[in-house]
Chains A and B, each alone.
Chain A
Amino acid sequence: MNFNAVWLIAQKELRDALRNRWFLLYTVIFGGLVLALSMLSRPDVEFTQLAEYNRTVTGLVNLVLLFVPLMALTFGASSISGERETGALKYLLAQPVDRGEVLFGKFLGLASAQLSTLLLGFGVAGVILSTRGGGDGLSGYVVMTGMACLLSLAMLSVGFLISALAHKTSTALGAALFLWLLLVFIGDLGLIGAAIVTQMPTQTTLLLAMINPLQLFKMASIFSALSSLEVLGPAGLYASDTFGGMFMPLMLAGLVLWILLPLGLAQFAFARQGDGA
């Protein structure tokens, strides 16, 4: 693999993203909500700081769950299919590059843009939290930021897989939005319904929920920020009791798998599509 070409394509993707109005809109909205969330607080009296910090952190988790997959999936989904539709991809592939370099270059560029948005949001929130004395939860906050970055990469990776499989941007975006709905709402709703109707055992509910990368991120973030999964009820306690010290490595491995597997499949599909591009 020629890393010069990968880097060049990544730069091009990043430059495109920074000029993309949708991307800027996402960034502004995410940053604004993070800012608002971290600035919301009650009067500073003794004993409330930690609780406020925890509330901000769980609010951030909620925000990441809603925004990051939407942003990453849609940008990932339009990454290849968009250029395929305009013919730019065909022209690029006629140059001395191979498909792997194009795919990874695009992934690297878009990932940099996504992570930049996330780090900007978390950085701003962190600065505001630091003025309110949020020093105790620093390590948890850093871990949560890292997990949010991994979730972003995982969703981007899934978006790339969609993009590699779809021939039209509209199809890819439709699939991405459906997947977003599935991961954020429909999947959990379905599982809640199934858990209630079938009286599903705690461990089954937990394991099924853990298929969803968003749940992996949520559990890992809450665990790292609050040092416990108590707030997630019996299933949360079951998770921390069952996995013990392996809980965080397991969550980490799950998210990494969600990055590598779809990206690998995207590369496989893209490489086999000698006919499609």
Chain B
Amino acid sequence: MSRWIIVGICLFMALTMSPASAQGGNHQRLIVAPDGPFVTIEAALEAAETGDVIEVHSGVYAAPVIIEKSVTLIGVGQPVIDGQGEGSLVYIRATDVTLQGFELRNSGSVQHHQDAGIVVEAQRATLLENHMSDVLYGVLFNNAAGSVAQQNTIRGKGEDIGLRGDGFYIWYSNDISLVDNTVVHSRDTLVSYSNGLTIRGNHFEDNRYGLHFMYNNGAVVEDNTFVNNSVGAFLMSSHDATLQNNIFAYNRGSSGYGLALKDMDNVTATDNFFVGNVAGVYLDNSPSLVDVYNTFRGNTFVYNDEGVASLPSVSRNIFTENSFLENTEQVSMRGREILSRNQWSFEGRGNYWSDYTGYDRNGDGVGETTYQADQVFENLVDEYPVIQLFAYGPVVQAIEFSGAAFPVLRPQPRLVDDAPLMNYRFPPYLEKQSSTMAWSTLGVSLGLLGLAMLPLLMVVKRPVTKKTAQAKSSPVATPSIAPDQQESVPMITAVHLSKHYGKHRILNDVSFSIQPGEAVALWGTNGAGKTTTLRCLLGTINFQGRLMVNGLDVKREGKRVRASIGYVPQETAFYDMTVAQTMQFYAKLKKVAVTDIAPILERVGLAAQVQKPVKNLSGGMKQRLALAVSLLGNPPLLLFDEPTANLDTQSRQEFLQLVHRLNHDGKTILFSTHRPDEVLSLATRVLGLRDGQVILDGSPDALLQEIGLSQWLRMWIPPHHWQAAIALLSTSGFRTAPNGHSLFVQVGSQPKISALRLLETAQIPVEDFDVVDSSFVPEVQS
């Protein structure tokens, strides 16, 4: 036994006499390093006396470190205390301990053990410049009054927010100071039953509650930054708190308050900055005591969803010289109530409201009219939160507009500020941010602009080279008929063709056949079915029966059929283009080489009009253009729908001559008309239609004979011979019609000379005559 005592004394002597320990005043300085003299912190603590300084040099040391003497531990070169996932890392159980410059990492994760970086269980501890990472709790102050934590960093385990521990956890510890610390990825900084708190210059980011406290009176919270937490600071059940120069930014959790006050009395909030929170400030029963006021002065609320949100019962808050800028809802009420029991101005100074529309006549910076928060939609949302779904849409403006137009719809104002300020103010401590160019956004935006220009490439003309012109030199879709088949295959075959609109039958079981090279007139009055027949042939309307064009079934191969047809409508309707552009458009549509355009324009007499806008062409010119378009692709069949109906006499003659030449060149022509002169001058055959049925299929003369239409002779006969002439002609079977100046005689299919010879034989003089059609005849007399 005595041997062991001697060994112990020797060891003690060796340690205290070691050259590694240095005297500092009355206190020693003990050195801990991986290569000694102390290789563990525990050994140094064992050897230390009250007031000693233990220098811990860089290296990794085992946890837990339990400090039960009033010593100072200073890390040199950021020594690491690693808990390897078990328990807490440092326990301070003696008063006046200082812990400085350590890296503490990898605590345990057991919630009910409150595994932490540092557990302070004694008064007046000082924690300086320690960096904690991967710790469940950061620092626990438990009955640790007068302690200070300064410039420490706490980085939580970053697990699901509910599984994290608190950054600082302060329990029954008065006069605690948290200064310039950083707390990230933790649950809360939770403070309870601790008066005289000072929280200054800290940065709380990505926590659940940046600061959460209750039953702490006389707290000072200043110069802190609360950013991207679920809630910035939630203060409860305390009084005499001062909050100033804090920044509450983007706290947007499910509650998303920048600063929330519940049962808080006599709070002074000054020059704080609230930006981008769901609600900048949330008020619930604060102040809770009668005759106690909370004051909000000089704070700035900008771009929050709600600047200030309040529960209905809240009263006795004074808002003065605050700036409310562009909050979606400047002040909101969670329920049916108004905020009139709060003061929105104090001693003639209200607040700045970015949606205030009043004016300042005397230039004192205070508006002359009151600011009233009486937006209809906001009021509805306060009462029925579900309709917030419709926010950010034009319907909100519509509702507000209706409120402005019909004041009866406006709700009672939630607040009235009778001295609104004209100028807003940003807190002076905010740093100017020079805009940095976001190159990625710029690149993408330029890309969007490039895409916007892309359609212009669609309309840029591509030059037509000789090669491409040759490649497209034949109309691909135009089926042609071998010459030896031309006689045997009809150009058009209609079998039992019928068409009706509802009960109204336009074509009724029409059958006919047209051979290649024929020029056939579809004759009939308006509504006889001429145009419908042509549209059936084009396949642009549905029909019953069978219709073959150029050997192709119209129903099945409408597009190929149309490639075989050149079509000229009664009224041309071209796009807003020049003649050349029009020709090019339809040439491309028909897959015809653009080099084919010039000869066709030459042929129809439009070569000189190439650059003219179509809208500037005369009716006759337009009809020629339609003819030119119809000739693109050299189709074997031409369909004309009363092509000269809107033309003057000369244009009509010219057009008919062109068509005549085309027929002469071998084109099959089917045209609708009700003009006998066109029938006679152009047609080799007539299909007469009446009420949707073919009533005639024969020569033009047969038409005239069959339906009683013919040409008329207009004769100038001396008036005293009229009676004799009319009697003679009528007896001989001629129809007559006098008009006062001359006598009209229908000649029908008879030779015109027969009427003249009849009168000559009777010695009735004919002074002059002319051949006219029935349109000139005033009234037909038998």
> In the bound complex, do residue A11 and residue B458 qualify as a contact, i.e. CB atoms below 8 Å apart?
yes
> In the bound complex, do residue A62 and residue B394 qualify as a contact, i.e. CB atoms below 8 Å apart?
yes
Q: Which of A46-54, A156-164, A168-176, A257-265 contacts B (4 or more CB under 8 A)?
A: A46-54
Check: B252 CB closer than 8 A to any chain A CB. Answer: yes
Q: Which of B93-101, B271-279, B674-682 contacts A (4 or more CB under 8 A)?
A: B271-279
Check: B512 CB closer than 8 A to any chain A CB. Answer: no
Within 8 A of B (CB), among A148-184: 184
- Which of A12, A66, A126 is within 8 Å of B445, CB to CB? A126
Known A-B contacts A126-B444, A232-B389, A235-B389; the reply to A19 vs B576 at CB < 8 A is yes
> In the bound complex, do residue B399 and residue A133 qualify as a contact, i.e. CB atoms below 8 Å apart?
no
Check: A37 CB closer than 8 A to any chain B CB. Answer: no
- Which of B391, B455, B456, B540 is within 8 Å of A232, CB to CB? B391
Contacts of B454 in A (CB 8 A): 112, 116
Q: Name B277's closest neighbour in chain A (CB-CB).
A: A51
Closest Cβ–Cβ distance, residue A91 to chain B (whole Å): 5
> In the bound complex, do residue B590 and residue A95 qualify as a contact, i.e. CB atoms below 8 Å apart?
yes
Complex: how many Å from CA A209 to CA B387? 10
> In the bound complex, do residue B591 and residue A4 qualify as a contact, i.e. CB atoms below 8 Å apart?
yes
> In the bound complex, do residue B441 and residue A66 qualify as a contact, i.e. CB atoms below 8 Å apart?
no
Check: A189 CB closer than 8 A to any chain B CB. Answer: yes
> In the bound complex, do residue A48 and residue B575 qualify as a contact, i.e. CB atoms below 8 Å apart?
no
> In the bound complex, do residue A86 and residue B573 qualify as a contact, i.e. CB atoms below 8 Å apart?
yes
Complex: how many Å from CA A228 to CA B433? 26
> In the bound complex, do residue A48 and residue B302 qualify as a contact, i.e. CB atoms below 8 Å apart?
yes
> In the bound complex, do residue A196 and residue B588 qualify as a contact, i.e. CB atoms below 8 Å apart?
no
> In the bound complex, do residue B302 and residue A135 qualify as a contact, i.e. CB atoms below 8 Å apart?
no
Q: Name A101's closest neighbour in chain B (CB-CB).
A: B559
Contacts of A119 in B (CB 8 A): 448-449, 451-452
> In the bound complex, do residue B444 and residue A42 qualify as a contact, i.e. CB atoms below 8 Å apart?
no
Closest Cβ–Cβ distance, residue A227 to chain B (whole Å): 9
Complex: how many Å from CA A275 to CA B672? 19
Check: B91 CB closer than 8 A to any chain A CB. Answer: no
Q: Which of A71-79, A198-206, A248-256 contacts B (4 or more CB under 8 A)?
A: A198-206
Check: B293 CB closer than 8 A to any chain A CB. Answer: no
Check: B357 CB closer than 8 A to any chain A CB. Answer: no
Q: Which of B380, B391, B432 has the most CB of A within 10 A?
A: B391
Closest Cβ–Cβ distance, residue A133 to chain B (whole Å): 5
> In the bound complex, do residue A91 and residue B391 qualify as a contact, i.e. CB atoms below 8 Å apart?
no
Contacts of A14 in B (CB 8 A): 455, 458-459
Closest Cβ–Cβ distance, residue A46 to chain B (whole Å): 5
Within 8 A of A (CB), among B210-253: 227, 247, 249-250, 252
Check: B477 CB closer than 8 A to any chain A CB. Answer: yes
Check: B739 CB closer than 8 A to any chain A CB. Answer: no
Check: B385 CB closer than 8 A to any chain A CB. Answer: yes
Contacts of B426 in A (CB 8 A): 42-43, 45
> In the bound complex, do residue B433 and residue A10 qualify as a contact, i.e. CB atoms below 8 Å apart?
no
Q: Name B564's closest neighbour in chain A (CB-CB).
A: A96
Contacts of B436 in A (CB 8 A): 133
Check: B574 CB closer than 8 A to any chain A CB. Answer: yes
> In the bound complex, do residue A15 and residue B459 qualify as a contact, i.e. CB atoms below 8 Å apart?
yes
Contacts of A116 in B (CB 8 A): 452-456
> In the bound complex, do residue A98 and residue B559 qualify as a contact, i.e. CB atoms below 8 Å apart?
yes
Check: A65 CB closer than 8 A to any chain B CB. Answer: yes
Known A-B contacts A119-B451, A233-B386; the reply to A133 vs B591 at CB < 8 A is no
Number of interface residues of A (CB under 8 A): 97
Check: A231 CB closer than 8 A to any chain B CB. Answer: yes
> In the bound complex, do residue B398 and residue A189 qualify as a contact, i.e. CB atoms below 8 Å apart?
yes
Contacts of B571 in A (CB 8 A): 87
> In the bound complex, do residue A133 and residue B438 qualify as a contact, i.e. CB atoms below 8 Å apart?
yes
> In the bound complex, do residue B249 and residue A124 qualify as a contact, i.e. CB atoms below 8 Å apart?
no
Closest Cβ–Cβ distance, residue B409 to chain A (whole Å): 12
Complex: how many Å from CA A124 to CA B249? 29
Closest Cβ–Cβ distance, residue A107 to chain B (whole Å): 14
- Which of B431, B442, B590 is within 8 Å of A96, CB to CB? B590
Contacts of A15 in B (CB 8 A): 459
- Which of B273, B389, B398 is within 8 Å of A47, CB to CB? B273
Main secondary structure of the interface of B (DSSP, over half): mixed
> In the bound complex, do residue B437 and residue A130 qualify as a contact, i.e. CB atoms below 8 Å apart?
yes
Check: B406 CB closer than 8 A to any chain A CB. Answer: no
> In the bound complex, do residue B388 and residue A98 qualify as a contact, i.e. CB atoms below 8 Å apart?
no
Complex: how many Å from CA A88 to CA B436? 54
Q: Name B398's closest neighbour in chain A (CB-CB).
A: A185
Check: B64 CB closer than 8 A to any chain A CB. Answer: no
> In the bound complex, do residue A47 and residue B276 qualify as a contact, i.e. CB atoms below 8 Å apart?
yes
> In the bound complex, do residue A88 and residue B574 qualify as a contact, i.e. CB atoms below 8 Å apart?
yes
Check: B558 CB closer than 8 A to any chain A CB. Answer: yes
Contacts of B540 in A (CB 8 A): 90, 93-94, 274, 277
Complex: how many Å from CA A17 to CA B394? 27
Check: B395 CB closer than 8 A to any chain A CB. Answer: yes
Check: B589 CB closer than 8 A to any chain A CB. Answer: yes
Within 8 A of B (CB), among A88-135: 88, 90-91, 93-98, 109, 112-113, 115-120, 122-127, 129-135
Closest Cβ–Cβ distance, residue A34 to chain B (whole Å): 12
Check: B4 CB closer than 8 A to any chain A CB. Answer: no
Q: Which of A45, A50, A124 has the most CB of B within 10 A?
A: A45
> In the bound complex, do residue B390 and residue A188 qualify as a contact, i.e. CB atoms below 8 Å apart?
yes
- Which of A42, A87, A96, A135 is within 8 Å of B325, CB to CB? A42
Closest Cβ–Cβ distance, residue A258 to chain B (whole Å): 17
> In the bound complex, do residue A184 and residue B392 qualify as a contact, i.e. CB atoms below 8 Å apart?
no
Check: A29 CB closer than 8 A to any chain B CB. Answer: no
Check: B649 CB closer than 8 A to any chain A CB. Answer: no
> In the bound complex, do residue B575 and residue A88 qualify as a contact, i.e. CB atoms below 8 Å apart?
yes
> In the bound complex, do residue A130 and residue B438 qualify as a contact, i.e. CB atoms below 8 Å apart?
yes
Check: A142 CB closer than 8 A to any chain B CB. Answer: yes
Contacts of A42 in B (CB 8 A): 302, 325-326, 426
Complex: how many Å from CA A18 to CA B456? 9
Check: B569 CB closer than 8 A to any chain A CB. Answer: yes
> In the bound complex, do residue B393 and residue A188 qualify as a contact, i.e. CB atoms below 8 Å apart?
yes
Closest Cβ–Cβ distance, residue B380 to chain A (whole Å): 7
Q: Name A206's closest neighbour in chain B (CB-CB).
A: B389
> In the bound complex, do residue A275 and residue B449 qualify as a contact, i.e. CB atoms below 8 Å apart?
no
Complex: how many Å from CA A64 to CA B328? 19
> In the bound complex, do residue B445 and residue A130 qualify as a contact, i.e. CB atoms below 8 Å apart?
yes
> In the bound complex, do residue A188 and residue B395 qualify as a contact, i.e. CB atoms below 8 Å apart?
yes
Complex: how many Å from CA A189 to CA B563? 53
> In the bound complex, do residue A97 and residue B576 qualify as a contact, i.e. CB atoms below 8 Å apart?
no
> In the bound complex, do residue A233 and residue B385 qualify as a contact, i.e. CB atoms below 8 Å apart?
yes
Closest Cβ–Cβ distance, residue A203 to chain B (whole Å): 10
Q: Which of A2, A45, A96, A192 has the most CB of B within 10 A?
A: A96
> In the bound complex, do residue A18 and residue B398 qualify as a contact, i.e. CB atoms below 8 Å apart?
no
> In the bound complex, do residue B388 and residue A233 qualify as a contact, i.e. CB atoms below 8 Å apart?
yes
Closest Cβ–Cβ distance, residue B547 to chain A (whole Å): 13
Closest Cβ–Cβ distance, residue B277 to chain A (whole Å): 9
> In the bound complex, do residue A275 and residue B275 qualify as a contact, i.e. CB atoms below 8 Å apart?
no
> In the bound complex, do residue A192 and residue B380 qualify as a contact, i.e. CB atoms below 8 Å apart?
yes
Q: Which of B273, B380, B438, B447 has the most CB of A within 10 A?
A: B438
| Binary interface encoding of chain A residues 27-67 relative to chain B, with 1 for a CB under 8 A from any of its CBs, else 0 | 00000000000000011111111111011001001100110
- Which of B275, B572, B575 is within 8 Å of A16, CB to CB? B575
Complex: how many Å from CA A33 to CA B558? 48
Known A-B contacts A16-B575, A97-B589; the reply to A145 vs B448 at CB < 8 A is yes
> In the bound complex, do residue B303 and residue A230 qualify as a contact, i.e. CB atoms below 8 Å apart?
no
Q: List 8 A-B contacts (CB under 8 A).
A: A47-B227, A61-B392, A91-B572, A115-B451, A127-B442, A195-B387, A209-B390, A231-B388
Closest 8 CB pairs of A and B: A233-B388, A126-B445, A135-B438, A51-B303, A87-B573, A123-B449, A123-B448, A119-B452
Other A-B pairs, 12, CB within 8 Å; known A132-B435, A231-B328: A44-B434, A46-B433, A62-B393, A90-B540, A96-B563, A133-B437, A138-B440, A138-B441, A200-B386, A232-B389, A233-B387, A233-B388
B residues engaging A (CB < 8 A)? 227, 247, 249-250, 252, 254, 256, 273, 275-276, 278, 302-303, 305, 325-326, 328, 380-381, 384-395, 398-399, 426, 430-442, 444-449, 451-456, 458-459, 477, 501, 538, 540-542, 558-560, 562-563, 565, 567, 569, 571-576, 585-586, 588-591
